[in-house]
Structure 1
Amino acid sequence: MDSAFDRHCSELVARERSGHTAVVEEDLLYVWGGYLSIADGEVFLPNDEIWVYDLEQGEWEMFHMSGEVPPSMSGTCGCSLNGHLYIFGGCDDNEQTNQIYCVNLTDGKYMWRKIVHESGSAPSPRDKLSCWVYNERIIYFGGYGRKLLTNIDSRNRSFIVDEASWMEDVLWGWNNEVHVFDTMKASWSEPQTHGRAPAPRAAHASATISCRGYVCGGRVMETRTSDIHCLDFKTWTWSEIIPVSTSPVGRSWHTLTAVSDGGLFLFGGLSVDCKPMSDGWLLDVETKKWREVQHPFKDKPRLWHTASPGKDSDVIVFGGSCDSILLVDTGHCNDALVFQTQPYPLFRICEDYIAMNLRNNETLRYQLPLLPPKLLTAVQTRMSFYRPTKKQR
């Protein structure tokens, strides 16, 4: 990794948070939900606000939301599909949920819509799950949640009961179920998978490459793992990737992001010994080799953050906690960390160089008005990103 940025250029910034949802559309990062620790309590962030970060200008803006607004939650599973943000599950003030909502991110109205499915059955309530997007469908995996005792088959190991959390006829636990939501038909289905499925888990990470979904690590009962599995969406067959090199240590609350046709970027998380981590790793899914990468954010451990793919194979990490939320839970963050995972195109290198050096380079200042209008606008926009900034946590 050659470079990275940690930027907040505007006076207005999103509130610190963990367990939130974030997606990138075009050059905009959208952030919704999550929670914040205040005194000895946990407070959910407003459910009728969406924060938008311009990755080109480095500026935040907040918009109020309307419509069928979902409850304030953390641990919900969010993704972007056709310009819409979809969220499913999560934990509100009462318990885990199994509702699905969507909002159009492109029309400027930010009006939530609660989706009522036309067929099939929704998964049981859960949070800390993950999802993949493929062929107009959202494929959900795993998570921690509750089931009725009558709905648990003791012969089926897709749900492991958390012995510390149960009451009468309701049990909580981890699962490795695969549920599919077809956004075109508004229908739920549960495909029959083949092969050896990953152990039931929550607080894991996932990413999509082509017609395959990858899941890495997470909490499996009382342990944290670093195993990685692949689900083929055409055959619904599971396979485990056995690395041929040194692997990251076991962790939960980390992120996994596709950065190329065969590359996955892992960042942060909570280790087996409950330490927040700041290491970054690249996995080549073809050679099955992990490679630890150097980056300038070694002093910024993160867990229960979000990571979104940006342009030119960037990875945009936002928020999360910098301490162990199991023990302290006070160090929530609100900075955007932009990781570079591939060499930038020459055009972007030139654009960034001009934007960074224009104020101190007289020759560049004289040449700027001679640029074509479209390029001039791009450089002026990028100059906003490199303005002096206040130090953010």
Structure 2
Amino acid sequence: LADPQFCVAEERSGHCAVVDGNFLYVWGGYVSIEENEVYLPNDELWVYEIDSGLWTMHLMEGELPTSMSGSCGACINGKLYIFGGFDDKGYSNLLYYVNLRTRNGTYRWKKITDFKGQPPTPRDKLSCWVYKDRLIYFGGYGCRKHNELSDCFDVHDAFWEGQIFWGWHNDVHVFDTNTQTWFQPTIRGGVPPQPRAAHTCAVLGNKGYIFGGRVLQTRMNDLHCLNLDSWIWSGRIHISGEKPKDRSWHTLTPIADDKLFLFGGLSSDNVPLSDGWIHSVTTNGWKQLTHLPKSRPRLWHTACLGTEGEVMIFGGSKDDLHFLDTGHCSDLLIFQTQPYSLLRLCLDCIGKNASLLKNQISWLPSKILPQVLKKITFWAAANHRQEKKAEIERQEQINVT
């Protein structure tokens, strides 16, 4: 374990992140070093405790996935599943999992090889819905052989020796984690989205939503929905009123039974975005949030829902990855999407004012003391990071002067 007092997860883009219980888990991705893409270590799992605000790094064991970016991560019953991705050797269609609820503190990767059925072709920048203990994958960019070409694949480039084709997908593949079986559901109706990658997805009830992404040489702002029971596509959902602009490398997070939170991405004119939107399924409309900071654009980041409805944005880039690719981030942006509980508000108040209340904290019930101590740690760490950031900014100003 790294020293939690000064430990902050490394900057990265194209990584995987999930929340299980009171913890945010981050794996993989890449950074840019002297114009080279460097994939981050495959044996490191970064863990953020939501209550205390502390990061720790755990070394992993077992059948390690390759260090890569663009993998699709999802969590079912305390297990983090990683599928697909891209590394120096090309695209992957391998599936791994790790038990996040380990009792001995050891995180061990397991490569799934004893499956039934046929997995998707190799790809990255795909999306995943989690529904009824199933991983339901859609789209992505990857390669196919000539005999694997079909209507679900738009060709972008071809290498004729060996007849290998690169392009975008819009096929749906399901992995049942209970039976260890891959299968392609029979789509029973509707018009599917165009083949795409770097899109985003979210589940509300039994509906899987898709928004935007890269399609051929453009980016989209279309919204689609797949019924995960009947396997019927909605077709493009027509929305009146204002709506987000075209984008890729953004995130979509369910924040209520009928609401989705959209954040960031890269626009069609290659501008990193910092806007946030909420889509209401009930009213079938978008509403832009006006209070978000404009100075924190993000693309190819991750977004996870916290224990009290907060959306936690981690990593990603603040620059256009196609042209600059240097502005990878390591900070955690937290967007509050609903009022916190009374308990949470009280704990935060104590944590912020711990120095004033230090003589009375011991009077609190023993049952609540551990939560209080974590909140004290959280705000102490937050203040430490703010002071450190301010000191760096002061030093940079002195150097400029």
Shared fold per TM-score greater than 0.5: yes
Offset from partner CA, 1:122-154 (integer Å, 9 cap, x none):
10000000000011110000000000011113x
| 1:150 aligned counterpart, secondary structure | helix
Which of residues 208, 212, 225 in structure 2 aligns to 1:213? 208
Structure 1 contact 19–305 (Cα < 8 Å) conserved:
yes
- Aligned with residue 369 of structure 1, among 322, 346, 362: 362
Partner of 1:233: 228
Cα distance in 1 for residues equivalent to 2:291 and 2:61: 40
Please point out which of 170, 173, 176 is paired with 1:176.
170
For residue 19 of structure 1, what is the amino acid of its counterpart?
A: G
Tell me the distance in 1 between the aligned counterparts of 2:301 and 2:201. Answer: 13
1:5 is matched with: none
Contact 2:276 2:292 (C-alpha < 8 Å) held by counterparts? no
| Residue 56 to residue 297, structure 1, CA distance change in 2 (3 Å) | farther
Partner amino acid, structure 1, of 2:277: W
Superposed CA offset, 1:306-337 (max 9, x none): 00111111111100000000000000000111
Matched, 1:311 2:307: yes
Within the alignment, does 1:187 sit opposite 2:166 as a pair? no
Question: Following superposition of structure 1 onto structure 2, how do residues 238-257 of structure 1 map, counting pairs within 5 Å?
Answer: 238-239=233-234, 240-257=236-253
User: What is the identity, as a one-letter code, of the residue corresponding to 2:140?
Assistant: G
Deviations 1:75-113 (A, max 9, x none): 000001100000000001110010000000110221000
Q: CA deviation at 1:344?
A: 1.2
Coordinate RMSD, CA, aligned: 1.5
What's the counterpart of residue 133 of structure 1? 130
Find out whether 1:328 has 2:324 as its counterpart.
yes
Moved more, 273-282 or 368-377: 368-377
Distance 1:24 1:183 in 2: 18
Structure 2 residue 273 is the aligned partner of structure 1 residue 280: no
* Paired residues of 1:295 and 1:339 also in contact (CA < 8 A): no
How far is 1:277 from its partner?
0.6
Match of 2:289 in 1: 293
Counterpart mapping for 1:1-393 below 5 A: 10-107=5-102, 108-153=105-150, 156=151, 158-163=152-157, 165-168=158-161, 169-193=163-187, 194-239=189-234, 240-359=236-355, 361=356, 364-387=357-380, 388-390=383-385, 391=388
Please say if residues 181 and 188 of structure 1, whose CA atoms lie closer than 8 Å, have aligned partners that are also in contact.
Answer: yes
Q: Distance in 2 between matches of 1:149 and 1:177?
A: 17
Matching residue's letter, 1:113: K
Higher relative contact order (CA 8 A, sep 6+): 1
Structure 2 CA distance for partners of 1:277 and 1:10, relative to 1, 3 Å:
farther
Matched residue type, 1:215: I
Cα distance in 2, alignment partners of residues 353 and 98 from structure 1: 48
Aligned equivalents of 2:238, 2:260: Cα separation in 1: 15
How far has the Cα of 1:117 moved from its partner? 4.3
Query: Paired residue for 1:4?
Result: none
SS of the residue 1:238 aligns to:
coil
What is the TM-score of this pair, normalised by structure 1? 0.94
Query: Normalising by structure 2, what TM-score?
Result: 0.92
9-18 or 137-146, larger mean C-alpha shift: 9-18
Query: What secondary structure does 2:87 align onto?
Result: coil
Q: State the Cα deviation string for residues 180-226 of structure 1 (Å, max 9, x = none).
A: 00011111000111210011100001111111111100001111111
Specify the alignment match of 2:399 in structure 1: none
Mapped to 2, the partners of 1:345 and 1:245 lie a distance apart of 33
| Total equivalences in the alignment | 379
CA contact (8 A) 1:117 1:187 kept: no
SS at match of 2:41: coil
How far apart are residue 69 of structure 1 and its match? Answer: 0.3
Contact 1:280 1:295 (C-alpha < 8 Å) held by counterparts? no
Contact 2:275 2:292 in 1 (8 A): no
**1:288 corresponds to which letter in structure 2?**
N
State the identity %. 51
Aligned equivalents of 2:174 and 2:44: distance in 1? 28
